[in-house]
Amino acid sequence: MTIDISPVTTSRTDSLAISCVYAEESRGVFEDCLSGASISSDVEISGSVDDNGGCITLRISVRFGYGGECARCLDPVSGSFDALIERTVITDPEIPEETDEDYVSAPDGKLDLDAVILEELLLTFPTKLLCSESCPGICPKCGRKKKDGECGCDKKEIDPRLKILEQLLEK
């Protein structure tokens, strides 16, 4: 969604509270950058846009719950995402290049909140969901989850190049 922050960019006020919710019908826009996870709650945005002597700053927190599968063992994984986003708001449509600061452009006081949140998700949402950092995954032979115990498969993983060597040695 696009929010109107023109009261701040036109100096009619120096602080504007932001509070909005992306409910089920509108939060799908974020799921493409969630590594296969789906959002299981409303996406709640709260914060403010403030003008500190001509420097306009957007500060919002983004919160939602998500669910997905462990990338190693495929067990269901759920978690919550909570991030604080801070951007310097400029009203020029062009973002200055060669800068370390995070800028967001709001021409005519219109700020594209979706774009700000998407950018943050791409940068900070885990690229792989794991049931635990140390998840041992599944046995490549029988598919049993290793955390459920030993499956008894032959663990000797033979490198295909070594396999050729082994065949030569057997002759």
Q: Does 37 bind Zn ion (CB under 5 A)?
A: no
Q: Is 71 in the site for Zn ion (CB under 5 A)?
A: no
Of 16-24, 28-36, 46-54, 63-71, which segment contacts Zn ion by CB under 5 A? 63-71
CA gap 33, 62 in Å, rounded: 15
Quick one: which of 3, 73, 111, 129 contacts Zn ion (CB under 5 A)? 73
Other Cβ atoms closer than 10 A to 70: 19
Burial of 139 (0-12, 13-18, 19+ CB in 10 A): middle
Q: Report which DSSP code applies to 31.
A: G
Is residue 153 near Zn ion by the rule CB under 5 A? yes
User: Could you tell me which stretch among 14-22, 26-34, 65-73, 86-94 binds Zn ion (CB under 5 A)?
Assistant: 65-73
Measured CA to CA, the distance from residue 48 to residue 39 in angstroms comes to 24
Which residues form the interface with Zn ion (CB under 5 A)? 70, 72-73, 75, 131, 135, 139, 141-142, 151, 153
